[in-house]
Amino acid sequence: MIGRMEVFLFTVAASIAALAGGITALRSRKWLNRALALTAGLVLGLVMFDLLPEIFDIVKNDNLDSVYPMIAMTTGFLLFHTFERWVPVHEASEEAYGPHRHPRLGTVRAVALTGHSFMDGLSIGVAFQASSSVGLAVALAVVGHRFADGFDTTTFMVFHKNKLRQIKGWLWLVVLMPIVGGLLSLAFNLSEKVLGIYLAFFAGLILYVAASNLLPQAHSKNSSRNSFGLTLLGVAFIFLVTRFV
């Protein structure tokens, strides 16, 4: 049985993290690089030490052709890459936005992050269907990068001169969507085979987020000297959680 309380608590934590990111964007970006560095490590550790082993177990125990999870993982990776070609989703530097500023661009990006936020909450719930350890690892990684989502939503809309009322409205949607996704996950149970394919899709998506968004921002020229150490700490933490907890 799905840990309903765990799903609810972790999606609430993810929402609070996004809210904290939005507030930070309105006040200071002092801790952003460090938060992203740690989150990148958590995400990489999650994929390598938790999601992939869980997917391999499902492939073995349920006679699932391994090509399907690999297709799903590749699809998740390329889907986010393709989407970013049209809508910049995770750029924290003002230089990356280009010379054109328009409130509609800020709104489009907020819509994209709202959908992404919903998927984050849904993924927490689905991960707990696999096992408590998978659910915990996914939840930690999601909570970590939700800070960046809240920060990016606010920063991008401020840059494109959206009104403060609009910024706050979209930020609240980004903040609340993980809870909505998490609650929806409680309404159904996936079969083991479908669960393995979905986890692979999610693994591909967040692997792209870590490789192309979190790590470059975390280790930019403005990052602190201990950013690399925080990334290693995130990877090590997930390794220890998956092996010994």
> Residue 10 has what pLDDT?
92
Q: Which of 32-41, 43-52, 85-94, 234-243 has the lowest mean pLDDT?
A: 85-94
CA distance 132 to 80: 27
Structure tokens at 45: 């550790």
**pLDDT band at residue 65 using 50, 70 and 90 as cut-offs:** very high
**Residue 123: is its pLDDT beyond 50?**
yes
Mean pLDDT for 23-35 is: 70
200-211 confidence digits (pLDDT tens): 998 898 888 788
> Residue 184 has what pLDDT?
93
> Residue 38 has what pLDDT?
78
**pLDDT band at residue 96 using 50, 70 and 90 as cut-offs:** very low
Comparing 131 with 25, the larger pLDDT belongs to 131
Comparing 219 with 69, the larger pLDDT belongs to 69
**pLDDT band at residue 66 using 50, 70 and 90 as cut-offs:** very high
**Residue 122: is its pLDDT beyond 50?**
yes
**Residue 93: is its pLDDT beyond 90?**
no
